[in-house]
Structure formats: structure tokens, C-alpha cells
Structure 1
């Protein structure tokens, strides 16, 4: 084979293996394919750059007896290229929704640190008394700040307190649909998968078309009611009619948070809604929906 003097590096999914230990699970990779790929790499004057992080970059059928893991993705480079970039390294990133993990080629020896996951309030925390104490302490500590500032204070400061508590409350076992307890990681994973598959499975739905539907207009009295000052009772009613598990806003706090801790946050939420209605004060998350729904509740009377 003709020798090339150009320094080069190739990185990605080669869809083949070089060594037997680059596969876990399933049948062993054919030796002829192992030898053929390895010889091709050598003939091209390439060397494996190795990796940092998870060894197996591709998997399928996780959590089953057909679970297979393989190192199909790798970085290869010539000797000349390695001399030009002696600090180069390939890091396997665990941030993919694909069955392949992405690779990050660093020319200088650095470690990629993925962004932390966005905070989301978990409804199961409500069942624990410790969580309520954490919320109350941090909300009180925020003092007389604007509601938007208080929410940020709770999310960024209270987050650490809640998640430290959460680390001591891990799932050790789950009861499946037949009432049997499962305690291994694989069994627990399958119970969760089956539960959500059942929730999100398609069901027959009967849709009725609206033919020449007539919708009444609001009356003058209802129009006057729309511009009346909001009361705490109106705001509370709207908050508590929201489904507790609706998607959280950008602050990570869902309706269940406001419903469960209304005695703590209710007054601030009411003041926010009143300011938003009359002065357009900024805020975020579920509270925009609260203001909108509070306005529309009046128009429902008699319609």
C-alpha cells in the first residue's frame, strides 16, 4: 500500500471491533472480522487514541437478557498527527438520547464537564415532612423580595437542600402490576417502563365535530367583573384546579408545589397575580397561566 505523508485523524462510528473485550453480551464477534479491521487500521498507519469515560459507546436492549454493549465509536490517528497533538484525547460523553454515545475530541488535555440537569420539583417529595421544612426555611429566608426573586432563591438555594435529602431516599424496590415486589436494578427498570408504556399507549377516542357551533359573547356585567381586583380566593381556586403533574415552568416548579405549600407561598403568589394584571409585572413559570386562567374564570359564569 502506498504510504501517505499527510497527518490525519478519523473519529466516529466504525461499525466494527478490533478486540474481543470491546463487546459485552450476545454472541462473540467473529474473529475474521476482528482481524480484518485490525489489519486495515495497521495498514493505514493508524493507532487507537483510547478513550476517557464509558468504554462501550453503543448499546441496545438495555435491562433485558439481550443487552449488548459495544465499542464501535473510536478515534484513530497517524503517528505524525499524534506528534503534532501529543495532548489529544477522546472523551465519551454520557449526554446522548441515541443508542450511540457521542465522542468529544480534545486537542489539549481537558475534561469535558456536561451541564448539570435543570432542576425539576418532584411530586413524590411532597410526601416527606423534611421537604416542607426545607421549602419553608428558604422561602422565609428570602424575605420581602419580589416573587420572581423568591422563586429563584428557592430553586438555586433550596435545590441543594432538597437534593441532599433526596440522595438518602433512593428507590430500593417497586411493586409491579401483579403485586410482586422487584428489587434488582433491572427488575425495577422494567416495572417503570411497563408503567409508562401503559399510560402512554394509544386508546380509541371518539371525536365529535362542531358543526356551525355558536358561542355566546360575554355580557356587560361579566366584562365589569373581568376588570375587578383579583382576590386571594380567586387565585387559589385557579391554582388548585390545575393538574398537579402538569409540566413545570422554566423555574422547575409545577402546580403541585404551589398547591402543597400554599400556606407558605400563597400571599406572594396573589400579590404577583395582582401586579401582573394591573401593571404587567414580570414573573415566570406556571404563574402566567394562573393569571390568564383567573381572568377567564369570570367569563365561564353563565356561558
Structure 2
């Protein structure tokens, strides 16, 4: 640890401070054994800090991990990223849908700006906007379709179609199984099928 502190001093790095919850790590132990500390931080030279005066480190929420992620963002960018009061969250499971990859690739190619920092910021925002539209257009019908198929399957089973029309029952089961991963892609992982 002393070597790390020496390297920070040698490079002339200063702590950027932060906004948000004061700690970034928790050991997740019960009661008195629970420890919260600020392990993660942003460092920069004085010259950098003078060049980018509105940049701040934000401690973000992470409910399933022991570390809270940190985000370096300028005050003006913060307004763009946190539009509508809720930050955008990319779901990694979306990558299982091939059309998501196209949306991301096309979003990064749409924006042109000579300033590299502005370019990256605009591309991220453009990608967020396009992914929101893609998610709405791609998945808004999934939950409704799944509920309809489950209701239809239950009705078919109650009417005894498993004897007279087993192919129909099988097709409904196939349709439901196809919709289940898409429901997970929507961000809803609470589906329980009673068979």
C-alpha cells in the first residue's frame, strides 16, 4: 500500500472527490461485522483538473455486488445521461438478440463530430436512445403474448386437447418456450411456469 501511495505522490495525482453515497465497498457481513469503506476513487493531475473543471466522480448504485461502480462525468454530461431522472442501464442479456448488436453498431456510426470527447459522449447518448427505442419495439409485446399463450395452453389442457389435438398443445408449449428467453431479455426474470 505504501508503494501505491508513493506512486500517486510521484505522479502528482489528486483525488477528484465524489458525489453520492460516501462508500464504494462493503464486506456484506451482518451487524457489527459490516464494514463500509471508500476503496474506489478517481485520480488526476492538477493540470487535468484545471482543464476539466466540471468533471465529478459519481458513486452509482449496485445492489448485487460488493463494489459500487464509479462514473466520471461532467456537470453538463450529467444532465444528458440522467434525463428523465433515471439512468440508462444496458442489459447484457440483450446481446443474445442479434438485432441488438446491429443497433449498437449503427448508433456508433451515426454521429460525426470533430471533438473526440464530444464524439464519444454523443455516441453513447445516441446508442442509449436507439436502444431504448429498440427495447420498446422489440419487447413490448412479449409479456402480453406470453400471457395469452399461457392462458390458451391452460384452456386447451382443461378442454382435454392433449388427447384430441396433442400437436396443438405441443405447438403452444414450443411457442411459450420461445417467448421465455425473450421475456428474460426484457429484464423480467421472475417467470414461473407451472406444468
Normalising by the smaller structure, the TM-score range is 0.3 to 0.5
- Greater share of helix: 2
Higher alpha-carbon Rg:
1
